[in-house]
Amino acid sequence: MSNISRIIERAAREIQADTVINLGIGLPAKVVEFLPKELNILIHCENGVLGAAEQPKPEDIDPFVIDSAGNYISTCLGSSYFDSAVSFAMIRRAKLDLTMIGAFEVDQSGNLANWKIPGRFSPGIGGAMELAQKTPRIVVLMTHCDKKGQPKILKQCRLPLTAKHCVSRIITDKAVMDVTPLGLVLKEKAKDISLEQLIHFTEADLIIPEQIGEL
């Protein structure tokens, strides 16, 4: 299993039946492909869809049915469509149970930076700001290090923040960590790296319990 598939497969196990969820652009959007067909959930898209499903086959594509990233999607039985004002009202009233979101950086206080790298073009902060502030549970999906091998899980974020103290859980290709009032707690570790290696790849301080699950 590739590192990316490991993240997505593990993230899919976070989703419980009878919930309303939002799957952000990038890695989170791929989670839908790993969900059991019989799982009763509603996937919300900021552009105005409730009940989104996996990408359809080419012959079944409806060019007017897309997610917030512009990807073609299908819909499940009981789905609905509405304008963006209604969609964001749902977010702001905390009607979503879970949001999965990508990140450039996360720190040990649960701060999230996922929209802007200085010097590079950014289309704007988008719906991430609303989702991060108003969803009760935020799960971040990200690679543990950047392309240069530098840690992305930090003591304190350096990039412009999307929202403060919003992250509940971080899932990477190397570990699963929970943000708690005491700090960042290691819950699971990939079996192909040692604890010492994981600490080396993580700038943030890790609280390491006696029992750690296997990612």
CA distance 175 to 162: 23
CA distance 169 to 176: 7
Catalytic residue among 9, 38, 46, 54: 46
Environment class of 70 (CB within 10 Å of its CB; exposed 0-12, middle 13-18, buried 19+): exposed
Buried b (16+ CB within 10 A) or exposed e, 26-36: ebbbbbbeebe
Q: Has 46 been annotated as catalytic?
A: yes
CA distance 118 to 114: 12
Name the helix (H) or strand (E) containing 211. none
What letter represents residue 146's amino acid?
Answer: D
Strands (E), 83-205: 98-102, 105-107, 112-113, 138-141, 153-154, 169-171, 175-180, 183-189
∠ Cα 162 164 166 (to 5°): 95
- In this structure, what DSSP letter does residue 139 have? E
Q: Which residues are catalytic?
A: 46
